[in-house]
Amino acid sequence: MHAENLRSVVVLGSTGSIGTQALDVIAANPGGYRVAGLAAGGGKVDLLARQAAEFGAEVVAVADASAVPALKEALAAHHARPVVLAGPEGVAEVAGWQCDMVLNGITGALGLTSTLVALEAGRLLALANKESLIIGGPLVKRLASPGQILPVDSEHSAVQQCLWAAGPGGHDPSRVRQLVITASGGPFRGMKREEMTDVTPEMALAHPTWSMGPVITINSATLVNKGLEVIEAHLLFDLPFDRIEVVVHPQSIIHSMVEYIDGSTIAQASPPDMRLPIALALGHPERVPGAARPIDWTKAHTWTFEPLDDVAFPSVALARHVGSEGGTAPAVYNAANEACLDAFMRGRLPFLAIVDTVAKVVEEHQVTPADSVEEVLAADAWARARAAELTAGQSR
């Protein structure tokens, strides 16, 4: 294939779990893609420089400007000469760089600007950074044209595939009874609330089925991640919260389902491997051959499903509440959680206090419409500050 026929991609968060797996998919398909730009926080400059050299990126940015000298040194050592940009503005410039598609694999609320810039520039957006859609809901939806956002989260990629599989009319909301989002249940599945009193970060980081970055892994232990995904599903597929069900499926093979009004349910199944949903977004509308291993049908399998325990894991019901409130409420839920998760990781907060504190911050918040970036960022900052006040002096 000629270079001009390659899909040019910008990978944001290229040194993270999603970013490195996206580059794996690209490396395995040399005739399919060209990497136009890379961006990361600045914590792993040698990896970033190696990526820039291997993929011939035109531009590289790090959010932490103090990492630039080390990055330049590493780039020289790898004989790579991309344009180097620094700071959040540099990352935003890469998000708007000339290309066909931006993959946003930044973690947390910090990804909002990049999502908005990529959409505004008219790029296809492969969205792993669910937080930007959730906190910027109305803003992001206003900017995005139909089909411009391609979900990378495995559950939403699965829903998308189920809707396609249902054929013409499969997307028609009047034919869909509900979306069924699956959850592994995390490392504490089956435990009662009181059994989670002494959970440590090491225990919360031991996810049974997925290997992911630290924030999403802890969010999977509290099930806040599932709460965020319910809001994400509502925003992506335009269904009300009472038609988005969560079911616990410990094997993580069925990634989600769509139930139709005639009682038929379509499910998407594959072994847990993020390279599949990443490839589905990168290759859209084509499928990428060999992106991930399929299910081995020569072996016996048992797939089980159980209802979510909302008493032990109140985070999903809380997410439904903030999602239904809309406006700045989801941004407050997310920001309070990010602040509490950080405190938990530093040994300054017990595990159960994460969601308890998020609930208190959400309750105190006066919701506004989230019509501007400033309003979202102000709600985000307020929630972080309030969470810090409420948790001051606590320890694990």
Sites of contact with ligand NAP (CB under 6 A): 12-19, 39-44, 63, 91, 105-107, 110, 128-131, 153, 210, 212-216, 274
Contact call for residues 251 and 303 (beta carbons, < 8 A): yes
What's phi and psi for 44, nearest 5 deg?
-130, 70
Structure tokens at 61: 């940015």
The distance of closest approach from Cβ of residue 274 to ligand NAP in the complex, given in angstroms and rounded to an integer, is: 4
Distance in angstroms (rounded) separating the CA atoms of residues 156 and 236:
8
The distance of closest approach from Cβ of residue 373 to ligand NAP in the complex, given in angstroms and rounded to an integer, is: 15
Distance in angstroms (rounded) separating the CA atoms of residues 226 and 381:
23
Nearer to ligand NAP, 41 or 330 (CB): 41
Q: Is 41 annotated as a binding residue?
A: yes
Nearer to ligand NAP, 22 or 244 (CB): 22
Q: Is 18 annotated as a binding residue?
A: yes
DSSP 200: -
Q: Is 184 annotated as a binding residue?
A: yes
Residue nearest to ligand NAP (CB): 16
Nearer to ligand NAP, 49 or 370 (CB): 49
Q: Is 190 annotated as a binding residue?
A: no
Nearer to ligand NAP, 95 or 390 (CB): 95
Nearest to 114 by CA among 135, 93, 84, 138: 93
Q: Which of helix, strand or coil describes residue 101? A: strand
Distance in angstroms (rounded) separating the CA atoms of residues 338 and 341:
5
Distance in angstroms (rounded) separating the CA atoms of residues 351 and 358:
12
The distance of closest approach from Cβ of residue 338 to ligand NAP in the complex, given in angstroms and rounded to an integer, is: 11
Q: Exposure pattern of 175-187 as b/e (b: 16+ CB <10 Å)?
A: ebbbbbbbbbbbb
Element (H, E) at 321: helix 315-325
Distances (CA, A) of 193 to 31, 138, 189, 202: 51, 35, 11, 18
Q: Is 389 annotated as a binding residue?
A: no
Q: Is 141 annotated as a binding residue?
A: no
Q: Is 17 annotated as a binding residue?
A: yes
Nearer to ligand NAP, 156 or 189 (CB): 156
The distance of closest approach from Cβ of residue 357 to ligand NAP in the complex, given in angstroms and rounded to an integer, is: 20
The distance of closest approach from Cβ of residue 112 to ligand NAP in the complex, given in angstroms and rounded to an integer, is: 11
The distance of closest approach from Cβ of residue 198 to ligand NAP in the complex, given in angstroms and rounded to an integer, is: 26
Nearer to ligand NAP, 19 or 37 (CB): 19
The distance of closest approach from Cβ of residue 234 to ligand NAP in the complex, given in angstroms and rounded to an integer, is: 17
CA dihedral sign of residues 37, 40, 42, 48: negative
Nearer to ligand NAP, 139 or 390 (CB): 139
Q: Is 100 annotated as a binding residue?
A: no
Helices 329-345 and 224-237: crossing angle, nearest 10°?
150
Q: Which residues are annotated as a binding site for 1-deoxy-D-xylulose 5-phosphate?
A: 130, 154-155, 184, 207, 220, 225-226, 229
Q: Which residues are annotated as a binding site for NADPH?
A: 15-18, 41, 129, 131, 213
Q: Which residues are annotated as a binding site for Mn(2+)?
A: 153, 155, 229
